Each structure stands twice: as C-alpha cells, then as structure tokens.
Amino acid sequence: MSVMKIYTRSGDRGKTSLFSGERVEKHHLRVETYGDADELNSVIGVVIAYLPDANKKIREELSVIQTNLLQIGAWLATTPQADVQSALAEITDDMVTGLEQAIDRLEARLTPLKNFILPGGHPSSAFAHVARTVCRRTERRVVQLALQEETSKTQSPLKTIQAYLNRLSDYLFVLARYCNKIHNHQDVLWK
Amino acid sequence: MEVNPSSSDGKPVTTRFHSRLCEQRPLSAKAFELILSRPPGFDFKAGQRLRLQYAGTERDYSLASTPQSKTLRLCIRHFEQGLVSPRLARLKAGAPLWFTGPLGYFTYRPSSRPAILVATGTGIAPFYAICRTHTFRFCLLHGATAPEHLYYETFFRQQAQPYVPCISKPRTRLPAGAFSGYVTHYLERHLAPGRYDFYLAGHEEMISDVTLLVDDRFSGSQVYAEIFY
C-alpha cells in the first residue's frame, strides 16, 4: 500500500527534493518561489474563510485560483526540460483571460478610484491585500527564476505563470475593495 | 464507469471504475496478489497506482501490471490486524471492486545517468510494471527481511544488472549474490561515487535513509520516491 506521508525526515538536513527529482538546498531560488506560491495560496484560504457563505460565486472563483496555484507550484518545483513536465497540467492563457473577466466583473460593481487607498477595513479585505502583496513577491521570484534560467521562449510556462500572477495581484486588489463594499466598509483613502 | 460530480471549474474530480476479482495468489505469508479485470477506459503509466475503495475506506496500491496488460495486478501486504488487507485476502473470484485513478508520478524517466532501483517489501510492485514496460539498464537493490519476501525475484534476476537481494535478518542460507544487511549499507559500501537516478519504493525509513545518503555521497543525483507501508 503506498501512502502520502506528511513527514519523511529526508529534509532534516536542509535539503529537499524537487518534483523533477533533484535534491536542492531549501533556500534554493526555486524552492523560495514555490514556497511563496504556497504562502499566497494559504492567505487566499484566509480570505475565503472570512467571506460570507452567501458569496458563493467569489468563494468558487477563489477556490479555482487555489487549484491553479497548486498547478503553478508543481511547475515551479520542476526544472526546465525535465521529462516529468509532460505529466503537469498546462498553465494556459485562458487562465489569465479568466482573471481579466473576473476583474472586469468586480470593477463594474465598484466606484472608480481617484486616490490611493490604505489596505485594511473588513478582515476579508485586509487579507486580500496581504494576498496581493504575497502575490507580487511570488511574481518577482518567478521573474528572477526566469532570468536565471535565461528563459527567452515566449511560450515558456514561466512566462504564462508570470502573466497569471501579474493579473492575479490586480484581481486581489479589486477583490479587497469588493470585500469592503459587501461588508459596508468604506475604503480608507490616502490623503 | 461513472463520473463523480464536477468541480467548480467544470473538470471531473475523479473517475470511478468498476472491476471484478479474477484471481487471488499468495506471494508469501505476508503478501498476496489480487488480479482484477481491467475496466474499459482505465489507462495508466507503468509505476502508477490506483485507489481501491473497500470496506468503507480507501487504500492506494501500485499497479504491478504493464499498461498493455488485460488485467490489473496488485501486490498487497497482509496486515493481520488491518482493516482492509485481511478482508481482501479472503475475497473470492468474481467479487466486485471499485477504484479511482490512475494516481502518482512514480514513472520511468529516461536519462543518461545509471538507474539504481531500490525496493523493500511490496514496494517492488511498481518496478515490476516499469521494468517490463521500458527497456533500460538498471541495478536493483531488493530489500527484504528474509528470502521468501523477495517477490518477483525470478524476473529481476534475469533483468537487473546486477540484481542484489539485501536480506536484513538472515536466518537461513542467503540466496545467490545476496548481501547480508540493509540496502543503505550496500550502497555505502559498494556503489561507486557518481551521479545516478535513484528510484526508491518501500518503507519510509529506507527512503529517508537512502535520500540522506544520496545527499552525502552521490550529490547531483536525482531521487524519485514512493512510500509504502
């Protein structure tokens, strides 16, 4: 019987296994990057926990984003040209387009912004802002990883992941505003 | 075949397959094989596993059969106090069984590095599938407490280069070419420094011990692992 163990002890001396089989130090850029994607996923979980049950559509949308982030994590944990890439679910442009449509849908329910806003308000909004900033950090790491690997191919999965994270942080910004709106909190404007 | 309810993004969560038991074969006092009919539409890669739904619970078992096989072969450790395996051991031919899958990524990945396969217990099952599906040179370290637990030994003796049974608690005469001790001890003493592809399937202690050994002595190697109870 094969099992999925939470602990294996093989990481006790500071190394870990990539999905593609390499053993690397736990501070390796690739590990830092999928670690950030994991952190982002966790913060989105907090946002979901603070959303009212009635907001089914947004909860489902965030759940799909969490699934996509797991797929992205698998790509980030795999070195380029590794044979196992063929086993991974593709990161597609449609995922980016889906986020753009979600942003447009949420923005249509909000008053246009004329000032910067201070992160905060309802906990769901405050955590959406935390998610946004973790998303930006993940994006910066992906850019660094792509540069390190000299990924020049425009069709590289890292390029699509970059675009997805760039759009996701925009989505999380709009979501933070929307969360305040549905909880009757005013955005705090920067004066 | 039936498809479970869809997830929120419209993709099926999992596919449930219906099968029947064709045969049950003992491998030793501690393990047995179940041979299942292969339902239409169930495709898999050598080394993957399925999730058997039985007795109100689920268990993952690696497939010992090749993707071309007409039946599905499972290699199951018999836990006397277990919830599932004693009942599976008593099943008669024709019994209905349900499972989902295929699952996992423990598959053969071609490379220029030498392949070192390490198995303990029923962890030999995915290798029995992989090594009959792909043609490649490999060394197999086959760990067992006693020679009677070296499942599929005859096949691997013919295919592995070399085949090294590692018997951890020898009470009788060792089989030909066998090493007395754990697989990790063999690796420490006999594997030349270098970069390898290590495929590990078996008990978690073996997997953690070999992985740490790879970090210490075979840096730059790849490690692929599947943990078995």
pLDDT exceeds cutoff 80 at A150: no
Among the partner-chain residues A2, A21, A64, the one whose CB lies closest to the CB of B227 is: A2
B75 CB-contact burial (10 Å; exposed 0-12 / middle 13-18 / buried 19+): buried
Full DSSP string of B48-68: -EEEEEETTEEEEEEB-S-TT
Any domain includes A85: no
**Cβ-based contacts under 8 A for chains A and B:** 77
Any domain includes A15: no
Q: What is the pLDDT of residue B15?
A: 85
Any domain includes A2: no
Task: Output the domain CATH number for residue A38.
Answer: 1.20.1200.10
User: Which of B8, B11, B85 best tests the A interface by mutation, with the highest count of A CBs <10 A?
Assistant: B8
Among the partner-chain residues B8, B223, B224, the one whose CB lies closest to the CB of A63 is: B8
C-alpha count within 13 angstroms, C-beta hemisphere, residue B27: 24
Helix intervals (H) in B2-147 = 85-89, 125-133
Q: Do B208 and A3 touch (CB under 8 A)?
A: no
Spatial neighbors of B222 by CB under 8 A, at least 6 apart, are A20, A21, A22, A23, B109, B111, B113, B196, B197, B198
Any domain includes A113: yes
pLDDT exceeds cutoff 50 at A141: yes
Predicted confidence band at B2 (pLDDT cuts at 50, 70, 90)?
very low
Q: What is the pLDDT of residue A116?
A: 92
pLDDT exceeds cutoff 60 at A153: no
Averaged confidence pLDDT in chain B: 91
Cα(B165)–Cα(B162) distance, rounded to whole angstroms? 10
pLDDT exceeds cutoff 70 at A165: yes
Q: Do A10 and B208 touch (CB under 8 A)?
A: yes
Question: What is the distance in angstroms between the Cα of A61 and the nearest Cα belonging to chain B?
Answer: 8
Mark which residues 61-80 of A lie under 8 Å from B by CB: 63-64, 67
pLDDT exceeds cutoff 90 at B128: yes
Spatial neighbors of A81 by CB under 8 A, at least 6 apart, are none
- Kindly state the tokens that stand for A117: 């806003």
Q: Do A67 and B7 touch (CB under 8 A)?
A: yes
Spatial neighbors of A97 by CB under 8 A, at least 6 apart, are none
Any domain includes A167: yes
More confident residue, A158 or A4: A158
Give residue A34's identity as a one-letter amino acid code: Y
Spatial neighbors of A49 by CB under 8 A, at least 6 apart, are none
Any domain includes A45: yes
Q: Is B104 on the interface with A (CB under 8 A)?
A: yes
Of A109, A123, A121, the closest CA to residue A189 belongs to A121
Task: Give the domain extent around A131.
Answer: 21-78+90-149+156-189
If one counts the domains in chain A, the total is 1
Q: Do B226 and A2 touch (CB under 8 A)?
A: yes
Lowest mean pLDDT among A78-82, B28-32, B96-100: A78-82
Q: What is the pLDDT of residue A2?
A: 67
A112 cis-preceded (ω within 30 degrees of 0): no
pLDDT exceeds cutoff 60 at A152: no
Contacts of A20 in chain B (CB under 8 A): 222
Cα(A37)–Cα(A141) distance, rounded to whole angstroms? 10
Share of chain B above pLDDT 90, in %: 83
Spatial neighbors of B21 by CB under 8 A, at least 6 apart, are B34, B35, B36, B37, B91, B92, B93, B94, B95, B97
Predicted confidence band at B179 (pLDDT cuts at 50, 70, 90)?
very high
Cα(B95)–Cα(B35) distance, rounded to whole angstroms? 11
Predicted confidence band at A122 (pLDDT cuts at 50, 70, 90)?
very high
What's the rounded mean pLDDT across residues B9-32? 82
Cα(B16)–Cα(B62) distance, rounded to whole angstroms? 17
Contacts of B204 in chain A (CB under 8 A): 5, 8-9
Any domain includes A118: yes
Question: What is the distance in angstroms between the Cα of B172 and the nearest Cα belonging to chain A?
Answer: 28
Specify the pTM.
0.86
Q: Is A84 on the interface with B (CB under 8 A)?
A: yes
pLDDT exceeds cutoff 70 at B191: yes
Lowest mean pLDDT among A58-62, A85-89, B9-13: B9-13
Q: What is the pLDDT of residue A6?
A: 64
Any domain includes A35: yes
Residue with tokens 């497939």: B63
Of B87, B70, B69, the closest CA to residue B78 belongs to B87
User: Which of B44, B75, B105 best tests the A interface by mutation, with the highest count of A CBs <10 A?
Assistant: B105
